[in-house]
Structure 1
Amino acid sequence: MSVSALVRRISDGGQAPRTERTLRLDRRIRTVLVTETRGAAALLAATVLALVWANLPGDSYETLWHTEFGVGLGGAAITEDLRHWINDGLMVFFFLLAGMEIRRELSFGDLRDRRAATVPILAAVGGMVVPAVIFAVLTAGTSAQHAWGMAMATDIAFALGVLALVGPRCPANVRVFLLTLAVVDDIGAILVIAVVYTEAIHPVPLLVAAVLLGVALAMRAAGVWRATPYFVVGVALWVATVESGLHPTIVGVVFGLLTPAFLARTADLDRLERILHKFRREPGPEAARTLSIAAQGAVSSNDRLQYLLRPWTSFVIVPLFALANAGVVLSPEVLSRAVTSPVTIGVFAALVAGKTLGIWGASAIVARTGLGRLPTGVRLPQVLSVGAVAGIGFTVSLFIAELALTDEQVRDEAKIGILAAAVAATGLGWLLFRITGRRTATGEATALRPPVEPTGEHHRGPLDAPIELVQFGDYECPFCREAAPAVAELLARHPGRLRYVWRHLPLDEIHPYARRAAQAAEAAAAQNAFWPMHDRLITAESLDDDALAEIARAAGLDVPRFTVDLDTAIIAAQVDADVRSAHDSGADGTPTFFLNGTRVDGPLDAVIAAVDQAAEAVPA
């Protein structure tokens, strides 16, 4: 909903450890956060330009945005001014992106895991309800009271820009928490726009829109995945929605929610590899087209569209929206009126104080009552800082102001409050991170959770050994392969004193076969052959299903039984339990080692030295 600093560098003598690291949504999240953070600069520039332009002599700012533009066919036409084309047309792509992000989070993001999602979901709810109540109370009896939706929104681009300024005082997991919270915030804002700020409904165009939506669903059920047919249906649906009275941005949200999201599947990657080999043998235009189609099919349309659209929305559409809507005349009389205006005071207080208190208060209640748990590396003082930064409503706040307020004078007062709140929330968030964010990501969770069980773990060495070394590993990680001989040497050097435990941490989006290999190791454990399978997996060149079957045969397993066990829920659950343990322990990459329950940071040499030092303190 970070990350430029998502790949953590754990220093040891100035050298980075040889590990592969990920944080929940790894590479894709890093791309999202970098793009959104840079987009904040473009958004800020457009806002400043709009304010300067609106305050120049003459009326060129309003004259341009009130220029009418029409699109028609025969006798039918839609004519709107340029501001409405941006707000009702281009912003559909912004909400399309929001819908796709929501779909992806619901499919396999933080919103899929109930325990992980409880805190950000309820924090987002608190961050919407409390500001709305504050605004409604402060504007009671005025014509602006029904515009409480302005106080609910969070501008993720600006918020991430502030976190980038905070730098290492804002750990990577805090950024991911803000993204998850912002996705829920988007859902709330979208529902408010659809339900509260929709004018009179016209049934015939609404029926046409419903039919067109059915066509889109039928195309999806038929397996149509190319964008062109959906674009044609989407344009027709947009026109029908405009005529129905519903706000047309709902089209973007609906199409975003319908866009399939999935991780790369082993079968698709194997097929792509076969086509690539064929293309190398017989290169030609037909083979190239087949290869292109197979490559696109291996990546979900959700990911492909987000990759294509995000730069356009971050650097063009949202800044253009700010340019068209953020221009307010800041004359002395307007400012003096705004200082005492209930709508200006209401939206300012709701965003700055309401967001901060709502998000922090809901998180504290949920965490302390045991209804949910804060993500690894996120503490309540940092949630307070996140709540302050979330008070930057800006884009969606301005959007709702245009929808809810028809009086131009009141709308300008609301915009002044939104702009002032963005400045104040930025300063407050920065200050709170300075005060509460002194512990960086490398200083967060260092304890193994849960501790090693006396039985039931995959271990080498005696159960009662005084030294315990736990490794979170990934069978596709080259650094885990490099670590394997060193671990074997440690076990040989300290017999009877060292117990070595392996826990799985497959980095799914970096290594497409890693989870399957982890499940293969667990399937082998069902036949009491975990370590023979493990030793072959850690050195295997290929880990597709055919290779796994051959490895199982070489390890002396019952291959038919192995093949059946590989796809059972209990095997998948065992891998998932290790992954949860890694997240709870603050292990975001492989290999990560814990010595006697405490994480050992640094390169492999530091791990070896720590084990040898611990062994020296134990009698032979």
Structure 2
Amino acid sequence: MTAISLRARRERLAGLLTVAAMLLAFALANSPLEDLYRLIHHTPVSIQVGQFRIDRPLIIWINKGLMVFFFLLIGFEVKREILEGRLSDRKRIALPALAAVGGMTAPAAVYLALNAGTATTEGWAIPTATDIVLALAVLSLLRPRVPEMLIVFLTALAVFDDVGAILVIALFYSEGLSAPALALAGVGIAVLVALNRYKVIETIPYVLGGLFLWATVLKSGVHATLAGVVLAFAIPLRVPTAQGDVSPLRRMEDHLHPWVLLGVVPLFAFFNTGISVSGLTAEGLWTPVALGIILGLFLGKQLGIFGATWLAVRLGAGRLPPEVTWTQIYGVALLGGIGFTMSLFITSLAFEAPDALVSARSAILLGSALSAVTGLLVLHFGSFPRSAERQVSSTQGGQ
């Protein structure tokens, strides 16, 4: 089994595990075990680092601690793709980049149109995110029917979307900033840059520098998960040695990939999707928050991605990948509305009120489910199996 096929199978399994974790959380939150489920959420966990002691509930450690590894993995992928992957060729990156911009702008506009003048405008970024793991997992179900370049297009689009989400979190969801902590974070970044410049290939120095950076960023008011992105960009992609080129980034990415996809992401889903329907009414899905998220994910995403792609092709700023049809682009635009992990994460930053959290999380699940099912149907009926296409081509060639 090749590394690519193993990675694809792992991503599909991660999607299934994440959905299973979501269903388990939902079942527990609506059963006699709900109190136990909530108790696990708020179990106090303390970490002692030297003279510093940090006390936080378990869910905070997951959202601000373990999710650092998720962002670290995103950073690895973004850096690798920019330096020597799908994003290294300017001609190839224009179309998915513009599609990602449209896919973030339109959902935000839909949400703000429905929440203008209210206290819930803070949630404008919730429907702008695409869950790269689940979107690719859904598309992988149709791998025999869709061209490989469509998967490449969705991957590149999702990577740009992740970059946008990282910038949004850094710029709009940081809390009151602490100058001393930011200064220490700057020291941590300087150390990581020095390790990169001196081509250090051992893992331990980067891990220690990353831990220091995470702790200082956590105290600074900037969201701690962004430390993962900074660490990822500090780790060298390729270092020439006497024995040949060594890639610390790929080595760490290969070790981290299964743990994040099969552990961190499902765990995050389990702790963030336990929504009790006892407090949810039909009116709860008709609130501006819920409608803004549902329509932002399901309508805003497809309009933004498809519209930006069509406009870019018409204006000559990009061109469709080989063998990809407009129907398939529309199907991918629908899959872009699967906002699950990143949307839930931004929700935890945007809202604190229980009613708003329940309404937003319910809307994310509904909007993501609508996008996934509709996108799957469009791609299934709008694509032919690749083996059948090759058979038709060979038959036509024989005539």
User: TM range, normalised to the smaller chain?
Assistant: over 0.9
Q: 1:240 to 1:441 in 2, by over 3 A?
A: farther
Cross-structure match for 2:281: 335
| Distance across 2 between alignment mates of 1:69 and 1:431 | 44
Partner of residue 54 from structure 1, selected from 29, 36, 42: 29
- For 1:122, which of 98, 109, 115 is the aligned residue? 98
State the SS of the aligned residue for 1:391. Answer: coil
Contact 2:59 2:271 in 1 (8 A): yes
Q: Among 136, 140, 153, which residue is 2:112 paired with? A: 136
1:370 & 1:28 partners in 2: Cα distance?
36
Residue 23 of structure 1 aligns with which residue?
none
Residue 44 (structure 2) aligns with? 68
Question: 363, 369, 380: which one pairs with 2:326?
Answer: 380
Q: How far did 1:342 drift?
A: 1.3
Equivalent in the alignment of 2:137: 161
2:334/2:375 contact within 8 Å kept: yes
- Number of matched residues? 396
Of 165, 187, 190, which aligns to 1:214?
A: 190
Alignment partners' CA distance in 2, 1:161 and 1:90: 22
Higher RCO, 1 vs 2 (CA within 8 Å, ≥6 residues apart):
2
Report the Cα offset of residue 34 of structure 1. 2.6
**Residue of structure 2 equivalent to 1:78:** 54
Corresponding residue of 1:319: 266
In 1, the alpha carbon distance for the partners of 2:298 and 2:347 equals 17
Residue pair 2:285, 2:363 contacting (<8 A) in 1 also: no
Question: With structure 1 as the length reference, what TM-score do the two structures score?
Answer: 0.61
Q: Which position in structure 2 is the counterpart of 1:198?
A: 174
Deviations 1:206-261 (Å, cap 9, x if unpaired)?
Answer: 00110111011111212211110111111111111111111011110111122222
Q: CA deviation at 1:161?
A: 2.1
Which amino acid in 1 is paired with 2:44?
Answer: E
Write the distance in 1 (CA, Å) between the matches of 2:211 and 2:225: 12
What is the distance in 2 between the residues matched to 1:188 and 1:441? 37
Identify the match of residue 303 of structure 1 among 228, 247, 250.
250
Secondary structure, counterpart of 2:218 in structure 1: helix
Q: How does 1:454-465 map to 2 (within 5 A)?
A: none
CA offsets 1:425-468 (integer angstroms, 9 cap, x no match): 11110121133223637738x9xxxxxxxxxxxxxxxxxxxxxx
**What SS does the corresponding residue of 2:169 show, helix, strand or coil?**
helix
Q: How far apart are 1:405 and its partner, in Å?
A: 0.5
Partner of 2:389: 443
Amino acid at match of 2:284: A
**Equivalent in the alignment of 1:147:** 123
Cα deviation, 1:469-522, whole Å, max 9, x if unaligned, reads xxxxxxxxxxxxxxxxxxxxxxxxxxxxxxxxxxxxxxxxxxxxxxxxxxxxxx
Shift in Å, 1:108: 1.3
Does residue 317 of structure 2 align to residue 371 of structure 1?
A: yes
Using a 3 Å threshold, how does the CA distance of structure 1 residues 251 and 48 change in structure 2: closer, same or farther? same
- SS state at 2:54 partner: strand
Identical counterparts, % of pairs: 38
After TM superposition, give the deviation of residue 164 of structure 1 in Å. 2.6
TM-score under structure 2 normalisation?
0.94
Change (3 A) 1:313 1:73: closer
Q: Which runs of 5+ in 2 are unaligned?
A: none
Q: CA 1:194/1:130 → structure 2, altered by over 3 Å: closer, same or farther?
A: same
The question of whether the paired residues in 2 share the 8 Å contact of 1:136 and 1:146 is answered with no
> What letter matches 2:362 in structure 1?
I
Of the two, which has the highest radius of gyration?
Answer: 1
Code of the residue aligned with 1:324 in structure 2: it is F
Q: Distance in 2 between matches of 1:73 and 1:429?
A: 47
Matches within 5 A, 1:199-348: 199-262=175-238, 294=243, 298-331=245-278, 333-348=279-294
- CA RMSD after TM alignment: 2.2
Deviations 1:329-379 (A, max 9, x none): 012x51323222111111011001111111111111111211111222222
Which amino acid is the alignment partner of residue 116 of structure 1? R
- Paired with 1:180 and 1:299, the residues of 2 have a C-alpha distance of 25
Match of 1:35 among 10, 19, 26: 10
C-alpha contact (below 8 Å) 1:46/1:322 kept by paired residues: yes
1:400 alignment partner, SS class: helix
For 1:53 and 1:389, the matched residues in 2 are separated by: 28
Q: 1:85-122 CA distances to partner (integer Å, 9 max, x unpaired)?
A: 00000000000000010101110112111111100000
SS at match of 1:214: helix
One-letter amino acid matched to 2:283: R
Between 82-91 and 103-112, the greater mean CA deviation after superposition: 103-112
Does structure 2 conserve the Cα–Cα contact (< 8 Å) formed by 1:36 and 1:156?
Answer: no
Amino acid at match of 1:224: V
Residues 123, 600 of structure 1: alpha-carbon distance in 2 compared, 3 angstrom cutoff: same
Instruction: Point out the structure with the larger helix share.
Output: 2
1:292-348 superposed Cα distances (whole Å, 9 cap, x missing partner): xx4xx63411211111111000100010001111110012x5132322211111101
Q: Alignment partner of 2:86: what SS? A: coil
- Distance in 1, matches of 2:387 and 2:356, equals 44
Deviations 1:263-285 (A, max 9, x none): x97xx6xx6xxxxxxxxxxxxxx
Measure the CA separation in 2 of the matches of 1:188 and 1:28: 28
Alignment-mate amino acid for residue 355 of structure 1:
K
- Asked if the contact 1:169/1:440 (under 8 Å) is kept, the reply is yes
